[in-house]
Amino acid sequence: MSEEATPLQVDDVIAMSLDQFAGLAWQKLGLQPDPITNKLELDLGQAKKAIDIASALADQLEGSLDEDDRRELHNLVRNLRLNYVQKTKEGQL
């Protein structure tokens, strides 16, 4: 028995893009290695951009999620922002 393919939905692309930007933000925060260089590199300007875009994508996706997924999405964005603030403070020491 084969499942019939369903067309790609906009929300699916938003979710995939959000995942990409969140991953990029973790990399630019120096918390995950860059997949190309395999090195931890801190770039707060790029991290902020990636976090802002992930947050905007999360806002677009939020209305189509159930409560658990919405909470998980809020936690992701909050954790990215908290880590950005922490890294910013570390740079001021």
Domain boundaries, given as residue ranges, for the chain: 10-92
Prediction pTM value: 0.89
- Report pLDDT digits (tens) over 7-20: 999 999 999 999 99
- Report pLDDT digits (tens) over 30-60: 999 999 999 999 999 999 999 999 999 999 9
Q: What are φ and ψ of residue 29, in 5° steps?
A: -80, -5
Structure tokens at 49: 């951009």
Torsion sign, CA atoms 61, 67, 72, 75: positive
The helices-and-strands tally (H runs, E runs) of the chain is 3, 0
Measured between alpha carbons, how far apart are the two ends of the chain, in Å?
62
